[in-house]
Structure 1
Amino acid sequence: MTAPTPADPAAAPPRPASYRTIASLAIPALVVLAAEPIYLLIDTAVVGHLGAVPLAGLALGGVIMGLAPLIGAVLAYGTTARAARRYGADDRPGAVAEGVQGTWIALAAGLLMIAAIEVFAGPLARLMGDDPAVEAAAAEWLRVAILGAPFLLVAGAGQGWMRAVQDTRRPMWFVTVSFLLSAALAPVLVYPVGLGLVGSAWANAVAQAISGTLFLLALRREGVSLRVDWPLMTKQLTANGDLIIRGAAFQVSSFSAAAVAARVGTAALGAHQIGMQLWFFAALALDAVAIAAQALIGADLGAGRPETARASAKRITIVGVGYGTLFLVVILVLVPVLPGLFTSDAAVRDQLGSVWPWLVLLLPVAGVVFALDGVLIGAGDLRFLRNMTVASIASGLPFMWLTPVFDWGLAGIWGGIAVYMLVRLGLILWRLRSGDWAVTGAERA
């Protein structure tokens, strides 16, 4: 037997995705992911200067409304996980067909959410709140903001199939245009028009309507059948089930944190809202690497290249560490000026002092965790992701729930977040090292 030559494919080492390729997918995705949290930060700053009660109302309403972007993320990730494998197997029409079914699911889910919130906005706000004025403000905001839910979910499904076919540029333009308009509209509706807190909800709904419409038009231009395919939709719903459970675990954590913060005090709830919006912004911006990972890993495994997928995963881990550290430096530099941008209430600014250390120190951890989430989503390793998330969040919840008992304040809430992030880090690194996630084929068995 002769030794393999460099030209022999068996001798060639796996070639991971280059840093340039990762960046070409991640940078446009970063714009898409950052657009909504930047808008929400602007919205928080606009509402924050109305006073502590409107800001706390936005905090409660935003947590409940958070179910919509959560389902949108489920649709995006679930669609990408399936469609990227089809794209890697040289089946672009099949990849887009996954997007069609995801869009039908999005429309149905969005309409159901509108019906539920219009009926239950008040009871939900009262369940979470501890101040009648804050609860009333939250319910009023929710009933308007939820009108954009179907469009938000359609945009999530649209981003899913576009990421799978490695088109991250069109979503960048769709989302950027709509949220720039909304960011300009929010202060006008809140102040000169005089709608107050509700003005921010209308601006939010307008942005989502524009974005969702653009994604619908893009899907129509693909020329594939737009009919419901029940067998394919059933497969998507099955795959999305794990992501929905995972998302529900995150919602339990968010609801718990907001409810406990409300019981610490109105100023604490306002400070928690500012801290969480900065955390969500950082999380979604860091998720840009995960978006690139989903597309690249899914395509590699769909094309039957597991060793290349493993090599790319290691490179993506390095990028995640660097990206998270960069965010740490940026936020650390901005800490002295950030409170004044979001609120003029002295009590809220004082409470923010308990949030900054946790927020800053968790960013490098988040960089790795979110990047590797993308690897496992691209691989379709959704059951492990579900179990890992439930276990890690369960480890942090006791710290939140015991905060009122031991008077830990916001430090107890954010300490709980830190615990579950560190548990996630340990579990996901173990899974990456095992290699069991790298299953090949146009569909994961």
Structure 2
Amino acid sequence: MPITPRDREILRLAVPAFGALVAEPLFLLADYAIVGHGLGTTAVGALGVAGTVLTTLVNLCVFLAYGTTASVARQTGAGNHARAMRSGVDGIWLALGIGVALIAVFWPLAPAVVELFGANAGQSAQAVTYLRISLLGTPGMLVVLAGTGVLRGLQDTLTPLVVAVGSFALNAALNGWFVLVLDWGIAGSAWGTVLAQTLGAAVYLVVVARGALRLGTSLLPGAAGLKEAGAAGFALLIRTVCLRVVLLAATVIATRMGEAELAAYAIATQVWTLLAFALDAIAIAGQAITGRSLGAGDVTTTRDATRRMTQWGLWSGSVLGLLVIAARPVLPGVFDADPAVTELLLALLWPVAVFQPICGIVFVLDGVLIGAGDQRYLAWAGVWTTLAYLPAALFASGFGVVALWCALGVWMIARLITLARRAAGTAWLITGA
């Protein structure tokens, strides 16, 4: 297909965003390798438990990036650069406040939260240690989310890529030093994460502070801006919670099916997650472009960009689906799956591949509506699509893990219907600042 100026703009935003998205899982694998090499299986299990808790908390706060991207991009498109930076400053203050609140709430609850996972005594003790230390880095983690949203709203996805690669490389280096050289145990891995995330947050604070001072924007929080960011964030939080409910329900059902079923489902989920990172990069471009063009009052550009990005999502999903089919015979060996798991995984990879084109369109339209500031609709759509998924998942539970994955396909189709109907209308095309 010929590359148009619109395509070049999409790629300029999407390619660095993709790099930043895949940096995190790649460097997390390095953390697991260091802990496993230096501390053994018990510590790896503890890292898995504590890491799941932290990842859940941070993922629930992803609205800090999405909401800030939309508000900053809209003000930028409207030419209100000082107000755009004002939105960014307020978003960062909100991130700091939530980060401090998470420390206050989960520090005393850490033993009880870890106990929910049913780990043995050795794993639980180390998981509590890791979780409590890592909680000190949550303000930095959330500031990174908000700061990333500010720069994406300013149409800059390259700087977040540089910061992400630098932070995660530093994280791996510090973990290696603290765990393998200084012999700090699992606490060393936690401190490496805290320091790397905090330094990454410091970079964003400097970048945003310089931009704010250049435009004469106060660095103090604004009550109105915090209220607006909180309202938008609450709606996006509902959307995110609905996503987590679906994924959690699927995992619980797969767990009850049996050990081989759970292992095959877990591997298929990892493959699907990696593919989602690639598709989400286009959605991030959608957030930035949509917010800016609507802020500028340009509905025609918004429509044209949405149409083009939807095509990119469909084509990208189709290519990824074909790649899954091509890699299907070798993927079980990559994960060293036993014969029972291999048989189930080979069957699961078919629906994983088939649903990729739908995923591509869904991710793009989700990003477009986030960029438009249509968070309230997305929250309600999340509730309705989750309600559509749960009965399908319960019905599928009696027919095996492949049927369970097809229930996820029902969920994606429900999301496609709700998002496509909204995008086809005009209610979300609100222009101006």
TM-score (norm 1): 0.82
1:260 positional shift? 4.2
Deviation at 1:57, TM superposition (A): 5.3
Cα offsets for 1:256-314 (capped at 9, x unmatched): 34444555566765665544444333223311111111111111111111122112111
Between 179-188 and 382-391, report the one with greater CA deviation: 179-188
Deviation at 1:193, TM superposition (A): 6.7
Residues 266/58 of structure 1: CA separation in 2 closer, same or farther (3 Å cut): farther
Which amino acid in structure 2 is aligned with residue 86 of structure 1? Q
- The worse-fitting range, judged by mean Cα deviation, of 50-59 and 231-240 is 50-59
Q: Tell me, yes or no, if structure 1 residue 381 matches structure 2 residue 409.
A: no
Q: Which residue of 2 aligns with 1:327?
A: 320
Equivalent residue, structure 2, for 1:33: 21
Of 16-25 and 80-89, more deviation after overlay is shown by 16-25
SS of the residue aligned with 1:32? helix
Amino acid at match of 2:299: P
CA deviations 1:201-245 (Å, max 9, x no partner) are 555444422321211111121113110100111111111111011
User: Could you say if the C-alpha distance between residues 270 and 394 of structure 1 is closer, same or farther in structure 2, counting changes exceeding 3 Å?
Assistant: same
Query: Which one is further off, 385-394 or 60-69?
Result: 60-69
Distance apart, 1:22 and its partner CA:
1.0
Query: Residue in 1 aligned with 2:228?
Result: 235
Residues 366 and 281 from structure 1, CA distance in 2 versus in 1: closer, same or farther, beyond 3 angstroms? Answer: same
Distance 2:172 2:25 in 1: 11
In structure 1, the partner of 2:248 is 255
Cα distance change, pair 337–150 in 1 and its aligned pair in 2 (3 A):
farther
Change (3 A) 1:209 1:22: same
Residue identity matched to 2:301: T
For residues 410 and 182 of structure 2, the distance between their equivalents in structure 1, rounded to whole angstroms, comes to 44
Report the equivalent of 1:24: 12
Deviations 1:317-367 (A, max 9, x none): 001112222333444444455555556888877775565334333322221
Q: Which runs of 5+ in 2 are unaligned?
A: none
- Residue in structure 1 matched with residue 410 of structure 2 by the alignment: 419
Q: Does the Cα contact within 8 Å between 2:328 and 2:346 map onto a contact in 1?
A: no
Percent of counterpart pairs with the same letter? 36
3-state secondary structure, aligned to 1:437: coil
1:290 aligns with 2:280: no
Q: In structure 2, what is the equivalent of residue 8 of structure 1? A: none
Ranges in structure 1 where 5+ consecutive residues have no aligned partner: 1-15
Rounded to whole Å, the distance in 2 between the matches of 1:140 and 1:342 is 30
CA contact (8 A) 1:37 1:284 kept: no
- Aligned match of 2:355 in 335, 359, 362? 362
Name the counterpart of 2:237. Answer: 244
Q: Is the 8 A contact 2:238 2:382 kept in 1?
A: no
Residue in 2 that maps onto 1:438: 429
Count of residue pairs the alignment pairs up: 424
1:219 equivalent to 2:212? Answer no
1:114 aligns with 2:103: yes
Q: CA deviation at 1:390?
A: 1.7
Distance 1:149 1:220, change over 3 A: same
RMSD (Å) for aligned C-alpha atoms: 3.4
Return closer, same or farther for 1:358/1:211 CA change in 2, 3 Å cut-off.
farther
Q: Given residue 440 of structure 1, which amino acid in structure 2 is its aligned partner?
A: T
CA deviations over 1:382-441 (Å, ceiling 9, x no partner) = 1111111221122223455567x7383x44553443221121112211211223221112
Deviation at 1:53, TM superposition (A): 7.0
Q: Distance in 2 between matches of 1:256 and 1:191?
A: 38
Write out per-residue CA displacement over residues 96-118 of structure 1, whole angstroms, 9 at most, x where no aligned residue: 11111111111111122223332
Q: Tell me which of 140, 147, 151 is aligned to 1:162.
A: 151
Q: Which amino acid aligns with 1:36?
A: E
Aligned 8 A contact 1:365 1:421 in 2: yes
Determine the C-alpha separation between the residues in 1 that align with 2:332 and 2:136.
Answer: 31
